[in-house]
């Protein structure tokens, strides 16, 4: 073996030996129900693993908009936005995203991950004090690393610690998910806004999972950037940042994940724009209300469609996931290194596209499986 081959083999063996080996499974589905192909062959399942929270991936208007964009502009944009890759649909989507977030401007990125990398690598530069919640998404963590600022990781949702960290800072950033992707709980956004205003800090909010809130009201003159995805509640693909025009202009000119990558496909952007129109309509209100009802059936009062079932031990989580799969319910087990050791869990992701009967199957199965696992 060459040195590289030996190193790769050792790393793979280490992952496998720790019981943490993973591989993709194909789900042939248009909506929650479909056919799962894994080591045991093909079987019918209902997925409770998707982030398509409002079911907009299958909405007729969204699909039709993507078809129309394909016919008009083709499969790809062909270049970065600052070369010749910008299409009218990109500008239209950015204007609608800015209006939705009550911001002056918005800027598209190819993914939500890239949006966080772009914002933080541009703004969290050496000499900037960065306060990041300990449960923030990997894209925030990597963005902070790229920016090479003075990063302080604060205890989850602890505003008092943030307040202390900001004391004496010149330029500072507080960055947080508004809904945390593995726990499904929400950040104390209003309190963080107050602390950032007090210290003149920039607040960066990642709202990727905030389909049920928390609602954000940005005070006049506050420095706030709102990062989001097009791939979850809007059912397409891409990311964006919305905020004051000068901040967005700087990202256009300094944000490497924006400058040096091919523009989002016209079809993805058109689908997201159509989905945003649905979301901001009476139909969208109805979908959000339906999702809220599903969440309350599974975990009354829980703030998001991400419902964790903490089991602690990895083997218990894997066994519970396997037992649910035997009943035709796809609920993934989340374990280290995604979550801390001793906090392995089931991660249930609910959607307005789930039927009432599917939710009933889930509730009954959880009661039985988790009871046996206790």
Read off the pLDDT of residues 146-176 as tens digits, 9 standing for 90 and up. Answer: 999 999 999 999 999 999 999 999 999 999 9
- pLDDT tens figures, 179-196: 999 999 999 999 999 999
Domain containing residue 42:
24-53+305-373
The 10s digit of each residue's pLDDT in 275-292 is: 999 999 999 999 999 999
pLDDT above 70 for 241: yes
User: What radius of gyration do the chain's Cα atoms show?
Assistant: 21
For residue 372, the model assigns a pLDDT of: 57
Residue 299 lies in a domain: no
On whether both 73 and 89 belong to a single domain, the answer is: yes
The pair of structure tokens assigned to 78 is 């062909």
Residue 325: pLDDT over 70: yes
Q: What CA–CA distance (Å, rounded) separates 37 from 307? A: 25
Where residue 346 sits, what CATH number does that domain have? 3.90.1150.10
pLDDT of 39:
79
Region 213-238: what's the mean pLDDT? Answer: 96
| Residue 44 counted as domain residue | yes
100, 56, 102: which is closest to 288 by C-alpha?
56
What's the pLDDT score for residue 374?
47
Burial of 233 (0-12, 13-18, 19+ CB in 10 A): buried
48 and 111, same domain (yes or no):
no
| 49 and 69 assigned to the same domain | no
Residues 325 and 259 in one domain: no
Asked if residue 81 and residue 185 are part of one domain, the reply reads: yes
Answer yes or no: do 231 and 325 share one domain. no
Does residue 312 lie within any of the structural domains? yes
Domain membership of residue 300 (yes or no) is no
Q: What is the CATH number of the domain that holds 107?
A: 3.40.640.10
> Which of the four pLDDT bands, split at 50, 70 and 90, describes residue 64?
very high
Residues 161 and 91 in one domain: yes
Sheet holding 41-47, edge to edge: 26-29, 33-38, 41-47, 329-330
Q: Within a domain: residue 293?
A: no
Residue 366 inside a domain? The answer is yes
Return the SS3 of 33: strand
Q: Are both 46 and 73 inside the same structural domain?
A: no
Domain shared by 241 and 175, yes or no: yes
Q: How far apart are the first and last CA of the chain?
A: 46
Q: Residue 373 pLDDT more than 70?
A: no
């Amino acid at each position: 073996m060459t040195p590289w081959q030996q190193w790769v083999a050792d790393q793979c063996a280490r992952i496998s030996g720790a019981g943490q080996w993973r591989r993709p499974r194909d789900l042939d589905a248009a909506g929650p129900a479909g056919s799962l192909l894994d080591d045991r062959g093909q079987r019918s399942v209902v997925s409770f693993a998707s982030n398509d929270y409002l079911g907009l991936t299958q909405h007729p208007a969204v699909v039709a908009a993507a078809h129309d964009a394909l016919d008009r502009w083709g499969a790809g944009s062909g270049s970065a936005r600052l070369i010749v890759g910008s299409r009218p649909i990109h500008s239209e989507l950015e204007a609608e995203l800015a209006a939705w977030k009550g911001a002056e401007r918005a800027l598209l990125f190819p993914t939500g991950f890239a949006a966080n990398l772009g914002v933080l690598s541009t703004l969290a530069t050496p000499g900037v004090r960065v306060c990041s919640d300990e449960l923030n998404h990997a894209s925030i963590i990597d963005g902070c690393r790229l920016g090479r600022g003075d990063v302080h990781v604060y205890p989850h949702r602890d505003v008092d610690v943030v307040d202390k960290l900001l004391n004496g800072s010149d330029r500072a950033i507080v960055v947080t998910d508004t809904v945390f992707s593995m726990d499904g709980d929400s950040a104390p956004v209003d309190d963080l806004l107050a602390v950032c205003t007090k210290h003149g800090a920039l607040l960066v909010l990642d709202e990727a999972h905030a389909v049920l809130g928390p609602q954000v009201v940005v005070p006049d003159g506050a420095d706030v950037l709102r990062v989001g995805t097009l791939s979850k509640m809007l059912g397409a693909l891409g990311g964006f940042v919305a905020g004051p025009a000068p901040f967005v202009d700087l990202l256009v000119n300094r944000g490497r994940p924006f400058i040096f990558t091919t523009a989002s496909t016209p079809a993805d952007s058109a689908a997201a724009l159509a989905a945003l129109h649905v979301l901001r309509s009476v139909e969208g209100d109805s979908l959000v209300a339906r999702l809220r009802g599903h969440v309350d059936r599974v975990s009354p009062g829980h703030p998001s469609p991400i419902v964790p079932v903490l089991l602690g031990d990895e083997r218990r989580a894997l066994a519970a996931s396997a037992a649910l799969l035997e009943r035709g319910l796809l609920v993934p087990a989340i374990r280290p290194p995604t979550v801390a050791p001793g906090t392995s869990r089931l991660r249930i992701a609910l959607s307005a596209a789930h039927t009432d009967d599917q939710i009933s199957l889930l509730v009954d199965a959880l009661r039985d499986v988790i009871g046996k696992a206790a």
